[in-house]
């Protein structure tokens, strides 16, 4: 039987602490809210009252329930108020010495049966626990911000945490309506260990001027469905907080250099550019604490956004390929008013592609996204062919054939012979070097990457990739075409993974390594990223959808080009591919899909 926890103490009433107080009080638990001074206590009270008032204004909390919630909270100065608490959780700044001193004092003040918990997101719970005479009653309870909304709680046990303490806390999380994942004490736990490597990688990408801050953030929001781009998220978290978490993970986590804070982060912290709370970080805000962005010297101008200067006129587009991606790209161009020439290998494949495009357009009509007239007009713009020679007059040719370099190179060599001078030749590759396709032609200045995302008609992102040989005019043309399609184009150089895959797949690989090390289960890792970080899918759900063989191929390309040891494909991923467990398409990947 779990012990009855009727009174909870919360030490530290910043944003996180106040949110934790609200969570407990919302669920009928009496809370002792403690700060070090009257001024800090009043700030915490104001934060809490403001949060509950906003919930009432939005209709998410009844005024009577708000009043009942606030009546359960006692605001106190000093730790002496916690002497009778059943559980005390601290939410003070992320400094090990501070937390150890606090726990030593809590050990002295609190009753012998009290559970002592830390809300740390990255520090060692074990190192905190040994500051007490009761390390077996110390545990990590890591809430996510904002605590009243985010459903995930990481329950972190040390090697000496008593099993009954873990059970009591798990039962408490269920009572709070939270989803808990119970894990051992390791740097970053689940969510931060996976999240901050990705965030740090995004900073290094921006620091190297590989892509603009807006393009990096747009790529991850539109390409992966994330609630925020990585640089905007760093601003929200606070660059000083992010630096401390990364530095702690680097020192505690085997000194993986991907967790070594990017030099730019330290420079920005030193300069006081801490993100939203200081009014400026990677972006500039209306005032400190405001989420409202204001233009600064890096904000793209209207001219830059339009990207039409020097662009060639495009009237006819050729699309080579017969797969899902080619079918979607044909539909996208036809709906946007372009004349499209679809080229496949053989009349039978052309007929299949034609039928697939018709089915998709018919669905658009049924769902009210297209009129019958618009559907018929789009179909009327497409001509179907089984020979490349019909692309002789195209202004833009987009290839969407199999992801094999030799096949693409042979196709580009053939297009070079057939297509008129000045045509822009584009590859939709997601991982292969665009320059190697370009150099198969005698016109590398006219070759770009146009990486559409699947399904192309629904996904609004296109990565526009330029090589060191791509001309300014070809790039301007590609950007203008993407804009004319109603898509968001993000511009980047020709490097393995471009923006999205370069940031996404190392994160997925890290998740596989975490599972491989038996640190947590696939279900708990997926829940941690969905509920703790707002990701639309967990890493193992996503890997099974993408295909483990595709994921492995992309990860290998990243590793071969960047030579980052941490990017080496996880052995478990390689073993599953070897065994034929490729994900949903094979019926089994990280999960069994045969019975679903």
- The residues carrying an active-site annotation are 121, 142, 154, 192
Q: Which of 5, 25, 137 is nearest to 70 (CA)?
A: 25
User: Which DSSP state fits 382?
Assistant: E
Supply 583's token pair.
């994900």
Q: How far apart are CA 137 and CA 150, in angstroms?
A: 26
Q: Which of 178, 7, 197 is nearest to 88 (CA)?
A: 7
How many Cβ atoms from other residues are within 10 Å of residue 286's Cβ?
A: 12
Task: Sort strands 461-466 and 447-452 into parallel, antiparallel or unpaired.
Answer: antiparallel
Are 21 and 8 in contact by the 8 Å Cβ rule? The answer is no
Q: Which of 192, 179, 180, 189 is nearest to 158 (CA)?
A: 189
Residue 522: C-alpha distances to residues 117, 180, 188, 191 (Å): 26, 14, 17, 13
Q: How far apart are CA 228 and CA 374, in angstroms?
A: 34
Q: How far apart are CA 107 and CA 99, in angstroms?
A: 12
Q: How far apart are CA 479 and CA 518, in angstroms?
A: 45
209: left (phi over 0), alpha (psi -120 to 50) or beta: left
Are 219 and 555 in contact by the 8 Å Cβ rule? The answer is no
Residue 211: C-alpha distances to residues 214, 228, 467 (Å): 8, 17, 13
Do you find a cis peptide bond into 98, omega within 30 degrees of 0? Answer: no
User: Which DSSP state fits 304?
Assistant: H
How many Cβ atoms from other residues are within 10 Å of residue 244's Cβ?
A: 20
User: Which DSSP state fits 271?
Assistant: T
How many Cβ atoms from other residues are within 10 Å of residue 358's Cβ?
A: 15
SS3 595: coil
């Amino acid at each position: 039987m779990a012990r009855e926890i009727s009174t909870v103490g919360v030490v530290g009433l910043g944003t996180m602490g106040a949110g934790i107080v609200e969570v407990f009080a919302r669920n009928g638990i009496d809370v002792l809210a403690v700060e070090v001074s009257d001024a800090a206590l009043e700030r915490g009270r104001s934060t809490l009252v403001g949060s509950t008032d906003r919930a009432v204004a939005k209709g998410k909390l009844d005024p009577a329930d708000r009043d009942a919630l606030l009546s359960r909270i006692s605001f106190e100065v000093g730790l002496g108020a916690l002497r009778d608490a059943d559980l005390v959780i601290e939410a003070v700044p992320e400094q090990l010495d501070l937390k150890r001193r606090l726990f030593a004092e809590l050990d002295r003040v609190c009753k012998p049966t009290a559970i002592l918990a830390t809300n740390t997101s990255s520090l060692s719970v074990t190192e905190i626990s040994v500051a007490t005479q009761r390390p077996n009653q110390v545990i990590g309870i890591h809430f996510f911000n904002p605590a009243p909304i985010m459903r995930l709680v990481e329950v972190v046990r040390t090697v000496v945490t008593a099993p009954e303490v873990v059970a009591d806390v798990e039962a408490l999380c269920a009572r709070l309506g939270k989803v808990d994942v119970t894990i051992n004490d390791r740097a970053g736990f689940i969510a931060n260990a996976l999240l901050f490597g990705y965030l740090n990688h995004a900073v290094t990408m921006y620091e190297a001027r590989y892509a603009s801050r807006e393009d990096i953030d747009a790529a991850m929001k539109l390409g992966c469905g994330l609630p925020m781009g990585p640089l905007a998220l760093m601003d929200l978290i606070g660059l000083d907080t992010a630096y401390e978490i990364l530095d702690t993970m680097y020192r505690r986590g085997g000194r993986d250099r991907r967790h070594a804070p990017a030099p730019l982060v330290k420079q920005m912290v030193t300069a006081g550019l801490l993100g939203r709370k200081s009014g400026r970080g990677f972006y500039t805000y209306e005032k400190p604490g405001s989420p409202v962005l204001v233009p600064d010297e890096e904000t793209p101008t209207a001219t830059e956004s339009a990207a039409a200067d020097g662009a060639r006129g495009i009237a006819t587009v050729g699309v080579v390929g017969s797969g899902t991606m080619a079918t979607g790209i044909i539909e996208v161009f036809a709906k946007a008013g372009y004349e499209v020439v679809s080229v496949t290998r053989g009349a039978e494949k052309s007929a299949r592609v034609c039928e697939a495009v018709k089915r998709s357009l018919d669905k658009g009509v049924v769902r009210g996204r297209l009129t019958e007239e618009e559907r018929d007009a789009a179909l009327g713009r497409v001509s179907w062919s089984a020979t490349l020679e019909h692309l002789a007059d195209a202004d833009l040719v987009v290839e969407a054939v199999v992801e094999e370099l030799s096949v693409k190179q042979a196709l580009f060599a053939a297009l070079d012979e057939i297509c008129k001078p000045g045509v822009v030749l584009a590859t939709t590759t997601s991982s292969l070097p665009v320059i190697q396709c370009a150099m198969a032609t005698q016109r590398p200045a006219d070759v770009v990457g146009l990486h559409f995302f699947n399904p192309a008609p629904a996904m609004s992102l296109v990565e526009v990739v330029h090589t060191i040989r791509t001309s300014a005019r070809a790039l301007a043309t590609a950007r203008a075409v993407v804009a004319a399609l109603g898509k968001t184009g993000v511009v980047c150089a020709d490097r393995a993974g471009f923006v999205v895959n370069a940031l996404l797949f190392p994160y997925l690989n890290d998740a596989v390594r975490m599972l491989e090390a038996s640190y947590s289960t696939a279900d708990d890792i997926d829940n941690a990223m969905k509920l703790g970080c707002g990701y639309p899918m967990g890493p193992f759900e996503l890997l099974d959808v993408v295909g483990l063989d595709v994921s492995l191929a992309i990860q290998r390309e990243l590793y071969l080009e960047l030579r980052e040891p941490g990017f080496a494909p996880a052995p478990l991923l390689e073993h599953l591919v070897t065994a034929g467990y490729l994900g949903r398409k094979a019926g089994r990947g990280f999960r069994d899909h045969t019975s679903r």
